[in-house]
Amino acid sequence: MIIRILMLIIVSIIWFISTLPFLIPYHILLTSQSKKIGCKLPFEHIVIIYIFVCYLTAVLNFTGIPSINDIVDNSFGIITPKEFNFPPDEINLIPFLWITEGVRPYIENILLFIPLGFMLPCIWKKYEVLWKTTLSGITFSLIIELSQLFNRRVTDIDDLLMNALGALIGWVIFRLLKEHLSKLQNKVSVQSTNIEKIPLLLREEACFYIACAFAGMFFVFYPFLRSLLIPLLRSSFGFVLI
């Protein structure tokens, strides 16, 4: 158990490192624009958004998005000279088609997105509005599902629905605990003296972190770091989790 936890910590660090080529330039621009409007980024805010990014990369790894190599090399034969060749049996638009085969995948997808629904309103107060958090969950899930068209994983409407439900449940949990989380929320939320002039980079901060996480996994982790990490973890621990 301890070995698995240690491995998970190591892998999480590697996932986070994969986002740095995109996260660092974004933070430089974000800090610069924030100072111009007298907006302070608290240390607690930086810490929790790094945790948020680690969570996002874990979701992307668990769901299995493709890499840039899959697209460039056309590893799965999806791209043809005239059109995209998406196998019909790997796209499901009928809700609950496979529920008779077991509910575990449904539960896993719900649990996977509960932290998203919880963390969004906790870090950014604008997501205290239910539809904004739910829409964010749907959008993030949709990005994952559409990307899976290029690596022969099943693109499933059920995953989209369950992920949205998970985000909604996470939001409900936050609302139930809001009074107890008020001090934490005040520490991690961005404080501004001129709310009306918040730049796009700060106003849509969560969206940029999702983009950084996806870009890191798509352009850095899967094409390069994963192939180096697997032999290292196997030789050190005898098994891998990725």
Q: What is the pLDDT of residues 142-179, one digit of tens each?
A: 999 999 888 878 889 999 999 999 999 999 999 999 98
Report if residue 198 sits inside a domain.
yes
CB 150 within 8 A of CB 70: yes
CA atoms of 209 and 138, how far apart (whole Å): 16
Q: Which residues in the chain come in under a pLDDT of 70?
A: 1, 81-82, 190-197, 230-242
CA atoms of 198 and 204, how far apart (whole Å): 10
Measured CA distances, 38 to 46, 98, 239 (Å): 17, 53, 49
* Residue entry with tokens 């605990």: 177
Long-range pairs for 73-77: beta carbons < 8 A, 24 or more residues apart: 75/151, 76/150, 76/151, 76/152
The closest of 164, 169, 122 to 141, measured between CA atoms, is 164
User: Which phi-psi region, left, alpha or beta, contains residue 77 (left: φ > 0; alpha: ψ -120 to 50)?
Assistant: left
Report if residue 22 sits inside a domain.
yes
Tally the domains of the chain: 1
The closest of 9, 13, 20, 33 to 201, measured between CA atoms, is 33
Tokens of 101: 């085969």
Q: What is the pTM of this model?
A: 0.90
Report if residue 52 sits inside a domain.
yes
**Residue 191 has what DSSP assignment?**
B
Report if residue 121 sits inside a domain.
yes
CB 34 within 8 A of CB 198: no
**Quick one: pLDDT at residue 193?**
46
Report if residue 162 sits inside a domain.
yes
Residue 144: which residues within 8 A CB-CB, separation 6 or more? 59, 60, 63, 65, 159
Containing structural domain, residue 61: 2-237
Q: Are strands 155-156 and 91-92 parallel, antiparallel or unpaired?
A: parallel
Report if residue 45 sits inside a domain.
yes
Report if residue 242 sits inside a domain.
no
Report if residue 101 sits inside a domain.
yes
Helix %, strand %, coil % of the chain (to 5) = 75, 5, 20
